[in-house]
Amino acid sequence: MSCLKPESAQPADAGQDGLDYNAYAQMQPRLPSKVPEALRNGRPVKDANRRPEGVYRPDYNTLTPHMRSPEYVQMSTAAAISLGLVQGKMYGCDCTRCLNLLLTYPEGCRANCAYCGLARHREAERDYADRNFIRVDWPAVSTDEVIDIVARDVAGSPFHRMCISMITHPSSDQDTVTVLKRWTDRIDPDAIPISILSNPTTMTRHDVQTLRDHGADIFTVALDAATPELFDRTRGKGMQSPHTWAKYWEILQDARDIFGPKKFGAHIIVGMGETEREVMQLIQQLVDLGGHSHMFCFFPEKGSLMDHLPATPRDQWRRVQLARYLVDYRDVRVEQMKFDDAGRIVHFGLSENELAPIIDAGTAFRTSGCPGKFADDISACDRPYGDSPPSNIASYPFPLKDPEIRKVRSQLGMNRPGESYVPGEEFDGA
d(CA 89, CA 102) in angstroms, rounded, equals: 22
The answer for residues whose C-beta is within 8 angstroms of residue 281's C-beta and 6 or more apart is 334
Name which of 169 and 319 has its Cβ closer to ligand SF4: 169
d(CA 276, CA 282) in angstroms, rounded, equals: 10
Rg, Å, the chain Cα set: 21
Asked if residues 362 and 405 have their Cβ atoms less than 8 Å apart, the reply is yes
Q: In Å, how far from its chain's centre is CA 192?
A: 20
Shortest Å distance, C-beta 168 to ligand SF4: 5
Name which of 64 and 411 has its Cβ closer to ligand SF4: 64
CA-nearest of 254, 250, 279 to 264 is 254
Name which of 73 and 113 has its Cβ closer to ligand SF4: 113
CA-nearest of 29, 163, 6, 188 to 98 is 163
Shortest Å distance, C-beta 108 to ligand SF4: 8
d(CA 145, CA 180) in angstroms, rounded, equals: 14
Shortest Å distance, C-beta 43 to ligand SF4: 19
Q: Does the N-terminal peptide bond of residue 6 adopt cis geometry, omega within 30 degrees of 0?
A: no
Shortest Å distance, C-beta 269 to ligand SF4: 9
* Site membership for ligand SF4, residue 57 (CB under 6 A): no
Shortest Å distance, C-beta 187 to ligand SF4: 25
Sign of CA dihedral 53, 59, 65, 71: positive
> By rule CB under 6 A, what string of x and - marks binding of each residue 182-221 to ligand SF4?
----------------------------------------
Strands 140-142 and 72-75: antiparallel
Name which of 166 and 258 has its Cβ closer to ligand SF4: 166
Angle at 151 between CA 149 and CA 156, to 5 degrees: 85
Total number of residues that touch ligand SF4 (CB under 6 A): 9
Name which of 165 and 367 has its Cβ closer to ligand SF4: 165
Interactions with ligand SF4, residue window 241-260 (CB under 6 A): none
**Residue 269, CB half-sphere, CA atoms under 13 Å: how many?**
28
Shortest Å distance, C-beta 102 to ligand SF4: 8
d(CA 89, CA 360) in angstroms, rounded, equals: 28
Name which of 110 and 292 has its Cβ closer to ligand SF4: 110
3-class DSSP state of 38:
helix
Interactions with ligand SF4, residue window 92-151 (CB under 6 A): 109, 111, 113, 116, 118-119
Shortest Å distance, C-beta 34 to ligand SF4: 17
Name which of 241 and 410 has its Cβ closer to ligand SF4: 241
Q: Taking the CB of residue 137, how many other CB atoms lie within 10 A of it?
A: 21
* Site membership for ligand SF4, residue 74 (CB under 6 A): no
Interactions with ligand SF4, residue window 144-183 (CB under 6 A): 167-168
Name which of 107 and 276 has its Cβ closer to ligand SF4: 107
Residue type, 279: V
Q: First-to-last CA distance in the chain?
A: 18
Shortest Å distance, C-beta 395 to ligand SF4: 18
> By rule CB under 6 A, what string of x and - marks binding of each residue 352-381 to ligand SF4?
------------------------------
Q: Which residues bind ligand SF4 (CB under 6 A)?
A: 109, 111, 113, 116, 118-119, 167-168, 235
